Amino acid sequence: MTQFENKVVLITGASRGIGEAIAHQFAAQGAQVIVSSRSQEGIDAVANAIKQNGGKAGAITCHNGDKASRDGLIKQTIEQYGQLDVMINNAAANPYFGNVLDMGFEAIKKTIEVNIEGYFHMSQLAGQQMRKQGAGVIINTSSVNGRVAGFNQSLYSASKAAIISMTESFAKECAQFGIRVNAVLPGLTDTKFASALTQNEAMLKMILPQIPLGRIAQPEEIAPAYLFLASDAAKYITGVSLPIDGGLLA
């Protein structure tokens, strides 16, 4: 299948985990994929693996918490590929795991800069290009924590709730330009990012009974939601937040 042939898909936070899985699945559908994260080594490895499998991929570094870096990512993408059809905001920061009263200011600042400011500005930049093109899709990675706050994850949860609201606002205001905006809400997934939970037996004993399917997800099980929301099968869908959580929020 090549339903994304001639489409340019940019994915932040794509050096590992869910972002990496998204990149591989879009590339398998014929897309020109641009993988981005702070780690040049990491994104080069993902891009090279895609190319070895016969896909098309480029790698551009970006610190999602830095304005100049975000500006540069979109500028380089347009200069090198001439268009931007799908923007996937997937980079995230969760530098603190602990009681809300003890969170340090630097952790507060980093979480807001990456998860809220970064998503908002990146969506603006991508949307401005898509407005020129007359079409485009933006997909934001939120979390089930955006609906039900995670224990010891206060600001991270709040930032993910902000992404849900942001998605709805962008969807309403960008529809007139042919731009659809949706969010995916992954549940607990087996990634390095979530290792504070997945590698903690006490936490797993608390969390797993709340998941009807009784297990954590693999990144490859989350990624298809992004392909669906970016595809023509979802062309009348905008402003939704789609949980992929094994039934946790049911």
Three-state SS for 194?
coil
208, amino acid identity: L
- Catalytic positions are 156
Helix, strand, coil abundance in the chain, percent, nearest 5: 50, 15, 35
Asked if 88 contacts 142 with a C-beta cutoff of 8 angstroms, the reply is no
Distance CA 130, CA 217 (A): 32
Structure-token pair, residue 207: 């969390």
* CA pseudo-torsion sign 229, 237, 114, 202: negative
Asked if 211 contacts 246 with a C-beta cutoff of 8 angstroms, the reply is yes
Distance CA 235, CA 71 (A): 28
- Please, how many CA atoms are within 13 Å of residue 71, restricted to the half-sphere of its CB? 3
